[in-house]
Structure 1
Amino acid sequence: MNANMRTVPDMPHFVALAVAGGSSLLEVAVPYDVFGMDRSGLADPWYDFAVCAPPGAGIGSWFRVSTPHGLDRLVTADTVIVPWSHDVEQDPPADLVDAVRAAHEAGARVASICTGAFVLAAAGLLDGRRATTHWMHAGLLARRHPRVQVDPDVLYIDHGDVLTSAGKAAGLDLCLHLVRKDHGSAVANALARRLVVPPHRPGGQAQFIPAPVPADADGGLGALLGWALERLHEPVTVTDLARAARTSERTLSRQFRAATGTTPLQWLLAQRVHRAQELLETTGLSVEQVAERTGLGTAATLRRHFHRALGVPPDAYRRSFHGGSRPAA
């Protein structure tokens, strides 16, 4: 479980959605769908969820929030999510800023969706840190808060206690990322399948795809990615990918960059690390066996890439999910 969790063991992690008025309906619906619906079939306990808002708060221009929880309830939350909540040309509501700051000071993990980053910045939570928001508003955020290192080219950024994400779809990526941190890759992937979305988009992926990926006779890049995912246990290389796609490596790299914001090699490494996470969480395979089954070859190679991607070695990652014990092989 995540080190920032404040809940008592075996008690649900409390997620509070801070709505101060003017929020987008989708940015409210996404956290509810991930954290507010009963998903105890995936992990038990699932999350405790509440919408927190001042009296008369609205969503869009036509929907009024009816909740018994005011913004003062945020201070009791384990995670606070702040969606787009105001016209960014104006300062964010002071009561919302104060409540978010108080929640963070009390130990909550605070995450923003889209221009919710303006609230976190006003609360001083982003000073001296990298942060992101929707690319259309990144320049304004940087000008208004010069101590924030604004990065408009990523989907989300995770500092552990503070997270920011780009537009609406990136908010779903961020929510799934939180589930992955709290409950592991297998649970997050199962939830993604229920939501019919990709199981994992890395936070460093580009926000904006400038051009569509050209389709080819083999069904386009999507078919190639599926082909590669079925062969992660094999030493698949970029040359193999290009050969399977019946194109040159240069053309393949250009298509990958346009579609995913990354290179074929980086994508392969990321998928192998994700597969290693699942195996470490759900099996008793040794690190050497996990390395073989993910196509990374040796335990040393797995440890190097795993630590680079997640900041912890494979053995420590497994212990965080199993309390030092190893699941059955």
Structure 2
Amino acid sequence: MGEKIMFGDIYRNKKVLVTGNTGFKGSWLCTWLISLGADVYGFSNEIPTTPAMFSETGLANKMTHFYADVRDLNAVKKIISEVEPHFVFHLAAQPIVSLSYTEPVETISTNVMGTTNVLEALRTYSKPCTAVIITSDKCYDNVEWIYGYKETDAVGGKDIYSGSKGAAELIFKSYYHSFFKKEGGLVQVASARAGNVIGGGDWALDRIIPDCMRSWSEGRVVEIRSPKATRPWQHVLEPLSGYLLLGEKLYKDHTLNGESFNFGPKPEYNHTVQEILEDMSVRWHFEDSKQAYKITGDIKFYEAGLLKLNCDKALFHFQWKPTLDYHTLIEYTSDWYYEYYKNKGEMFAYTLSQIKGYEDLASLGNIAWTK
């Protein structure tokens, strides 16, 4: 059998620019794009953590990287005009909820003006380009109802982080209607919303999985604040498959210009923090989960307890749906860190092997982007 075609082979030999490429999701996206045969470019102002997936996979040697701040409009314009990308995936952001409480202005300037600058640079760009603007499920005005939020629901939020993501969506909408809506336009734009993403290579602060892996790698018990908190967990490759499929469909079908799409897990993937740590501790060969974690009552900042997405729109327009079951999600995430910390593995090759495994599972499941 020949090599399977993913995403209609649309990214092969195309120039793809990823903002925020040194982050967790950005690094996974760049690795996947490289495997799809794309000519990958990225820019970000720093490598956000130590260690970082971008560093541990050696991505700097496998793509073209620019150091620039997304809040610098001239720098963004210069990079886009220099690269001449066929596709742009905008992920650059301040992604940490807890940090938004200590650095609200930086959070707003990065998430709101950063998005504005990318759209402004694309507004004055004179070549065909397909752009996917990524925000977050936290862009919705979360009233903690039990229903999944639809793309037509109100955006906003009680905290700075949510407000910044809601504002980014409003900027996207106004730029679309003001500049990108015209027929025959060269630049097509869409926005994508996802959240609660886990997977190997995330070392961000105040996130339960990175906290856990740091502790376990050093032989420490991880402390958890809210053991009963549920999240709609999904592996990082799930929303990335949505972004890549959206890029392909938007490239081919301009009626999707200006649309927004949710990419989330199946509703039954809501598990508590305690459940996910119990299951991960098994993959790390703990004989007793009491050696893996302990519960503390120290809740440092407000974070919404319940948030679900309704993904029917993506299913309707281009048959997107998630691939992994809960147990494979646990396996992929735990095993990546175990390979890094315990086996001292070659992490670019290991990441590619997980992407290949994911593609194979998607093919078996007859998922739309594998046909």
Q: Do they superpose with TM above 0.5?
A: no
Greater relative CO (CA pairs within 8 A, separation 6+): 2
TM-score, length-scaled by structure 2: 0.33
Look at both structures and tell me which one has the larger radius of gyration over its CA atoms: 1
- Provide TM-score, normalisation by structure 1: 0.36
